[in-house]
Amino acid sequence: MPTPFSLFDAWFAEARVSEPNDSNAMALATAGADGQPSVRMVLLKGHGPGGFVFYTNQESRKARQIAERPFAALLFHWKSLRRQIRIEGKLTTVDDATANAYFATRSRDSQLGAWASDQSRPLDARATFEARFEAMKARFEGGDVPRPPHWSGYCLMPDRVEFWEDGAHRLHHRRLFERAGDTWTESLLYP
């Protein structure tokens, strides 16, 4: 029986070939203590049996919601393939070594932007952000840009993964994987 991870790998490989932009884009849904849901697009930066990893400013709205309720849902929608994958589970913060290693692969401007941005907070004018960005360029000129202490990654360990494929006349195919401990079970869902 395939695992949700092996099936994800196969579908993701196809998406990387067929999707024109950001095949690793996924919707991330979170909710804070008030229960109000919020969804936004983020980029998948790692995946496997250990979970699904993305990175963000830990002072952002999404990170505050994760701190209050460390559960989330992910959605990959690959229109060119007429497929989607829904993933639900618990989030944990990646370790510093993992966050540092990924941060080092980002473009210098992206690294500087992580220092300059107070993500999700009110901004009085674009010029304010641009001035902060220029200040960070000057601060780190001639050297490496270290990972800011408020920037890291999260790993979603799935408990539920659903694979959806479009079918003629809306007779779609849905496969559901659910985890109990270390064991995955697979079933079908009505379209």
Residue 118 lies in a domain: no
Strand partners, 161: 87, 177
CB-count burial class (<10 Å; 0-12, 13-18, 19+) for 178: middle
pLDDT in tens, 28-68: 999 999 999 999 999 999 999 999 999 999 999 999 999 99
Domain region containing 80: 4-99+151-189
Q: What is the pLDDT of residue 149?
A: 96
pTM value > 0.85: yes
Report the CATH number at residue 177: 2.30.110.10
Q: What is the pLDDT of residue 167?
A: 83
Residue 178 lies in a domain: yes
Task: Enumerate the active-site residues.
Answer: 170
Residue 125 lies in a domain: no
Residue 107 lies in a domain: no
Which parts of the chain register pLDDT below 50? none
Residue 136 lies in a domain: no
Q: What is the pLDDT of residue 1?
A: 62
| Tally of domains within the chain | 1
Q: What is the DSSP string of the chain?
A: ---HHHHHHHHHHHHHHH-SS-TTEEEEEEE-TT--EEEEEEE--EEETTEEEEEEETTSHHHHHHHH--EEEEEEEETTTTEEEEEEEEEEEPPHHHHHHHHHHS-HHHHHHHHH--TTS--S-HHHHHHHHHHHHHHTTTS--PPPTTEEEEEEEEEEEEEEE--GGG--EEEEEEEETTEEEEEEE--
